[in-house]
């Protein structure tokens, strides 16, 4: 029996199930408005039947999630439950996805990429200091807080590991998409915080060339590549990229988790903390590759979308 001591969502207008942002194997995320303030939130709706038998684990896990307070991490604001569902009320971010914004800009450099990776490292370092491993870091989970040009980047969508964390799930999410999971995860070895550092390395790789380090149409071949940590800094795409950037990535995408940089070490790497990231414009080739390799997200919560939705569906 889950007990969060609250009645089912009295403050929310309605749970708009047709406003599906995303639908995982176990849960869906919908948009909701707080009646008193008009504030919008993203609500993750988890059917309780998915949690059966794991209630005490989930309660502990949610207690930990509620402690997370970091400017680059989407906050869990509140929790409600109904007889059938658990609702996680999450801070709503409206600035769109990382890659979309890179494609849209006209000028983009290693320094920009370094400035994007730094807050991610900082946020994940914070999670690691609380003993939390994110385990599902990927570009789709990096969202801009708001549409402003100077918007900060936010890590979103924490899974509940008790519910979504089985190795099988990670294997299946990796299927057919560019892999962000560390070799030790695919090898089904015990894994730790270092898996997040690997994923940050993969994200940094893509930020500098626009294509994923591992790719094969055949999933079993893709998994083999990742298991062997078999990737290259291909010419001509990497010709103009600094050795420091390559060193940074190589030390994060290091097959042996023991030798991999921790977030703390990565934050001290000269490509992040120093001045080795180059200021040459690499927008043209990176954005061309990004457009080719990463299809546009199906659902994006742009301000325009939000405001037209609000007029049509909530205010009337």
Ligand X SMILES: *[C@@H]1O[C@H](CO)[C@@H](O)[C@H](O)[C@H]1NC(C)=O
Catalytic residues: 136
Distances (CA, A) of 27 to 85, 168, 261, 301: 10, 17, 33, 18
- C-alpha span between 241 and 282 (Å, rounded): 9
Which lies closer to ligand X via its Cβ, residue 174 or residue 200? 174
Give me the least distance between CB of 217 and ligand X, in Å please: 8
Residue (220 or 235) nearer to ligand X, CB: 220
**Quick one: which of 3, 17, 37, 218 contacts ligand X (CB under 6 A)?**
218
Q: Which is nearer to ligand X, 221 or 296 (CB)?
A: 221
**Residues 243-282, interacting with ligand X (CB under 6 A):** none
68 and 75 Cβ atoms separated by less than 8 Å: yes
Using only C-alpha atoms, what is the Rg of the chain?
20
Query: Is residue 52 within 8 Å of residue 90, measured between CB atoms?
Result: no
Contact flag: residue 148 with ligand X (CB under 6 A): no
Q: Is 228 in the site for ligand X (CB under 6 A)?
A: no
Entry field: residues in the chain:
316
Among 3, 37, 168, 220, binds ligand X (CB under 6 A): 220
x/- contact string, 57-76, with ligand X (CB under 6 A)? --------------------
Q: Does 168 bind ligand X (CB under 6 A)?
A: no
Q: Does 105 bind ligand X (CB under 6 A)?
A: no
Question: Residue number with the shortest CB distance to ligand X?
Answer: 218
Closest CA to 85 of 168, 18, 4, 170: 4
Number of H helices, E strands in the chain: 13, 7
Residues that bind ligand X (CB under 6 A): 218, 220-221
């Amino acid at each position: 029996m889950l007990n969060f001591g609250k009645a089912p969502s009295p403050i929310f207008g309605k749970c708009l199930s047709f406003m599906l942002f995303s639908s995982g194997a176990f849960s869906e995320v919908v948009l909701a408005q707080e009646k008193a303030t008009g504030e919008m939130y993203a609500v993750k709706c988890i059917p309780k039947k998915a949690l059966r038998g794991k209630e005490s684990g989930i309660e502990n896990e949610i207690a930990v999630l509620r402690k997370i307070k970091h400017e680059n991490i989407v906050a869990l604001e509140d929790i409600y439950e109904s007889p059938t569902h658990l609702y996680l009320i999450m801070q709503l971010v409206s600035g769109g996805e990382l890659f979309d914004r890179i494609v849209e800009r006209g000028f983009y450099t290693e320094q920009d990429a370094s400035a994007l990776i730094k807050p991610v490292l900082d946020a994940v370092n914070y999670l690691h200091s609380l003993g939390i491993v994110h385990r599902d870091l990927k570009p789709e989970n990096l969202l801009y807080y708001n549409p402003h040009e100077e918007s900060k980047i936010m890590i979103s969508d924490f899974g509940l590991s008790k519910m979504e964390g089985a190795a099988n799930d990670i294997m299946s999410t990796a299927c057919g998409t560019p892999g962000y999971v560390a070799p030790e995860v695919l090898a089904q070895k015990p894994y730790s915080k270092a898996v997040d550092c690997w994923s940050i390395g993969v994200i940094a790789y893509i930020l500098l060339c626009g294509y994923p380090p591992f790719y094969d149409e055949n999933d079993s071949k893709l998994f083999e590549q990742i298991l062997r940590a078999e990737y290259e800094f291909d010419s001509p795409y990497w010709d103009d990229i600094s050795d420091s950037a390559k060193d940074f990535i190589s030390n994060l995408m290091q097959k042996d988790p023991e030798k991999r940089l921790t977030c703390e070490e990565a934050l001290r790497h000269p490509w992040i903390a120093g001045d080795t990231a180059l200021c040459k414009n690499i927008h043209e080739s990176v954005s061309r590759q990004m457009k080719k390799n990463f299809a546009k997200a199906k659902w994006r919560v742009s301000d325009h979308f939000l405001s037209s939705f609000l007029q049509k569906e909530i205010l009337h």
